[in-house]
Amino acid sequence: MASKAVLIYGGKGALGSTLVKFFKEKGFATTSIDFFENDTADDNILLKSDLGFEDQANAVKQALEGKSGLKVDAIVCVAGGWAGGSLKSKDFIKNANLMMQQSVWSSYIAASLAPHFLRENGLLVLTGAQPALSSTPGMIGYGVAKAAVHHLTKSAGAEKGGLPEGAKSLAILPVTLDTPMNRKFMTPDGSWTPLDDVASILYNWTSSPESSPPSGSLVQLITKDGKTETKIE
């Protein structure tokens, strides 16, 4: 059997870096896809900030095709960002655009790789958001982008969505992740989800995909008193 491998889209971000380190320590070959190199990853594919959506997708696919016969057990997209604002925000359209680029483009590109580079019975994991399960009037661009990711997860994971045989599509829906960026702007409490908890959940799913949630599931990550549980929406 070929060695275990994962692709981490957004592998240089806070959560992405944690995932690369965690999976590598568990013996997985790790490829990071990001605008910046992750020195811990076994391999890096660098995104280019001047490329549009289609060109970026093509560039990533071509770079991966260069790694002859690459097949991974999981493609995980943890790229994303956050911006607030209602219709009245002077940056409403600008932030709507940014959220689409950061969350929707990245999730679409990760999903587009699955038919080519994901193993049978593998996992495609995208990052949604628990608040986007209902309306998000104070952060419209963010909520719309995450709702789009939720629909992508459900559709890719449905029968005839285009995944390899036996593969699943899942979304993780955190509330607040315990990242340095979030600590910079807010005071953490016991409801923040530690990044290692996310890594541990994704590692368990990848190691025994038969015990992971049904394909297409939106999986809320609910942390209480520092303890994280999953809840299928």
The interface region with its own copies, picked from 43-51, 82-90, 175-183, 205-213 by CB under 8 A, is 82-90
- Number of chain residues interacting with its own copies (CB under 8 A): 47
Within 7-46, the residues that bind its own copies by CB under 8 A are none
Q: Does 165 bind its own copies (CB under 8 A)?
A: no
Q: Looking at 46, 154, 191, 207, which residue binds its own copies (CB under 8 A)?
A: 154
How far apart, in Å, do the first and last CA atoms of the chain sit?
35
Which residues touch 71 (CB under 8 Å, ≥6 apart)? Answer: 2, 5, 117, 118, 119, 122
Q: Does 166 bind its own copies (CB under 8 A)?
A: no
Q: Looking at 114, 171, 173, 219, which residue binds its own copies (CB under 8 A)?
A: 114
Question: 3-class DSSP state for residue 114?
Answer: helix
Q: Does 218 bind its own copies (CB under 8 A)?
A: no
Q: Looking at 25, 37, 54, 120, which residue binds its own copies (CB under 8 A)?
A: 54
Q: Looking at 40, 81, 92, 121, which residue binds its own copies (CB under 8 A)?
A: 92
Quick count: other Cβ atoms within 10 Å of Cβ 107? 29
86 and 137 in contact (C-beta within 8 Å)? yes
Least separation in angstroms between CB 135 and its own copies: 4
Exactly one of 9, 108, 142, 203 is catalytic; which is it?
A: 142
Beta strands in the chain (DSSP E): 5-9, 29-34, 43-46, 72-77, 118-127, 168-173, 218-224, 227-232
How many Å separate Cα 16 from the centre of its chain?
8
Known catalytic membership, residue 142? yes
Q: Looking at 86, 181, 183, 200, which residue binds its own copies (CB under 8 A)?
A: 86
Distance (Å, rounded) from C-alpha 184 to C-alpha 99? Answer: 20
Question: 3-class DSSP state for residue 85?
Answer: strand
Least separation in angstroms between CB 72 and its own copies: 15
Q: Looking at 137, 180, 190, 214, which residue binds its own copies (CB under 8 A)?
A: 137
103 and 149 in contact (C-beta within 8 Å)? yes
Distance (Å, rounded) from C-alpha 161 to C-alpha 153? Answer: 10
Distance (Å, rounded) from C-alpha 24 to C-alpha 11? Answer: 12
Least separation in angstroms between CB 110 and its own copies: 11
Q: Would you please indicate which residues are annotated as catalytic (active-site) residues?
A: 142
For its own copies, the binding residues (CB under 8 A) are: 53-54, 57-58, 86-89, 92-94, 96-97, 100, 104, 108-109, 111-112, 114-115, 132, 134-138, 140, 143-145, 147-148, 150-152, 154-163, 216
